[in-house]
Amino acid sequence: MKKILPFLCASALALSLMACAGTINNSTADTASNVTFTFTESGVTAAGETDTGYEIDGTALTITSSGTYTVSGSCADGSIKVKKGTTGVTLVLDGLTLTSENTAAITCGKSSEVTVFVSNGTENSLSDTEQNNDDNYPENENAENAVIKCKDGSTVTLCGDGELTVTANGKNGIKSSVTTDEDGEALLTIRDLTLNIDAPINDAINAEQLLNVESGTLTIDAADGAIHCDLVLNIGADGTDGPTIDITNCYEGLEGAELNVCSGDITINVSDDCLNAANSDLTDYDFTMTISGGTIDTYTSGGDGFDSNGELTITGGTVVVWTANTADNEPLDADGTITVSGGAVLAAGGSSGMGMNLEAAQPCVIYGSTGFGGMPGSTQSCLIAADADFTIEDADGNAVYSGTTRCGANFILFSSADVVADSAYTLKAGDSFTEGTAQRGTVSTGMGVGGGFPGGGQKPDGELPEGFDGQMPNGEKPELPDGEVPEMPSGERLTPPSGQGSPADGNAPAGDSTSDTTPTA
């Protein structure tokens, strides 16, 4: 499948360039409105130019022509719909509390063009009930499966300086649909506003085509995805501060087939992948994840940190990722190449690293506890325990990074502009230390490659610590096939003590042929 829309990070698409504050500003919101609507429990009242452009049926309001419409009031079962094909519509939310029992609180019809502007200084809330889910209520023909539904080919911008709270009791918080030949291009843009989403059933924000989260403050709690797009998800923009996003709880954090983070202050706590470039419905697709700016602080209790089904590229920004899973989940994971060419990256996990194809255009230093052939998923001693303060210091004792662990870590990768290739760096936590050497270029990790051993560390030159007794990191002896003994570096075999073990020819030692004790290597 070919890419439907190219990634434009430096400049937004033309369809998203409708200036929210320029279209309607805080001081002129009421006077600019064609009509002002007030919701009550019994109906909707209209004031202003009341002849055309809308229809009222009880507590259901339908916008049928372009214009600016201000809505306020409170209603336990009401809805707003912009009719199919209607463009140039601005809905000003000015202290609106609206719940819809069996459909979306706001529906933007097919091929519509709508700006939802949240007025400065106001608090607004939109919600639905469990009936707004046609999976669970197939008899409900009005179900839209979202509190705010943007249908095929609709161009919708959510913006303003006020606060909007969305509570999704049916399925999704905000849902944007697809691009079609008949209905046109679908696009959802979020800008400026304070947006709080509670989605205990499914996704907080779900888009199928193109989703731009340019700015604003977003707080999200979701049962499944926090911010998901089937195709292109853009967070922030080059040269801007970007959005502030706090994902307090969800299954997956940011997800798109093409995921681009250009700016922003992002905090993510999840149970699966923090960032994911994937879509199981796409084949022959060039999945990409690109981090070029912003500050991203992530933690997962059971998944990968950053997981790309294609390439993963970090060119800038500050990235901190912690993965608590000790089996086969990694802080950085990609089917293709992981490239780090800029920014500051601290990637740490409970797993010791299954190995990754890493191109370190910017030098990195790696610490791990699989330095003697440890297998991924095996029981390991911990490099650093949870909740420990630690530093990474250069050879002169200067700290290039300091922080507190979010979970126990067996693998730590650090890269920044302060790291110099071929120089020694020491990871210190309390009285323990581990040493490593910064690398540039193609770097192998996992499966016995990497840093050192807790408490003493591996020397920067790769030699084993003095006094190393040949045990695995978990304290067990290496397992060998029955009857074999380890070889010395010269190729000679160890000679077992009298009465123990088996010589090279597999026969029992002399004088012990009558013993019923099975020899052990």
pLDDT one digit per residue (tens) for the chain, 521 residues: 433 433 344 333 333 333 343 333 333 333 357 899 999 999 999 998 777 899 999 999 999 999 999 999 999 999 999 999 999 999 999 999 999 999 999 999 999 999 999 999 999 999 999 999 999 999 999 999 999 999 999 999 999 999 999 999 999 999 999 999 999 999 999 999 999 999 999 999 999 999 999 999 999 999 999 999 999 999 999 999 999 999 999 999 999 999 999 999 999 999 999 999 999 999 999 999 999 999 999 999 999 999 999 999 999 999 999 999 887 789 999 999 999 999 999 999 988 665 789 999 999 999 984 333 333 344 445 789 999 999 999 999 999 999 999 999 999 999 999 999 999 999 999 999 999 999 999 987 653 333 333 333 333 333 333 443 434 334 443 444 444 444 433 444 333 333 333 333 333 333 333 333 333 33
Give the Cα separation of 20 and 235 in Å (integer).
18
Give the Cα separation of 452 and 429 in Å (integer).
14
Terminal Cα distance for the chain, rounded? 56
Contact between 175 and 206 under an 8 Å Cβ cutoff? The reply is yes
From the list 363, 318, 348, the residue with the least C-alpha distance to 434 is: 348
Task: Please give, one letter per residue, the 3-state secondary structure of 215-238.
Answer: CCEEEEEECCEEEEEEEEEEECCC
| Token couple for 132 | 């707004």
Residue 267: helix, strand or coil by DSSP?
strand
Give the Cα separation of 210 and 15 in Å (integer).
11
Q: Phi and psi dihedrals of 512, rounded to 5?
A: -130, 20
From the list 341, 370, 343, the residue with the least C-alpha distance to 355 is: 370
The amino acid present at 236, given as its one-letter code, is: G
| Token couple for 307 | 């997981």
Kindly give the pairing relationship between strand 411-415 and strand 344-349. antiparallel
Give the Cα separation of 350 and 480 in Å (integer).
27
Cα–Cα distance list, 210 to 99, 154, 190, 230, 389 (Å):
27, 11, 11, 8, 41
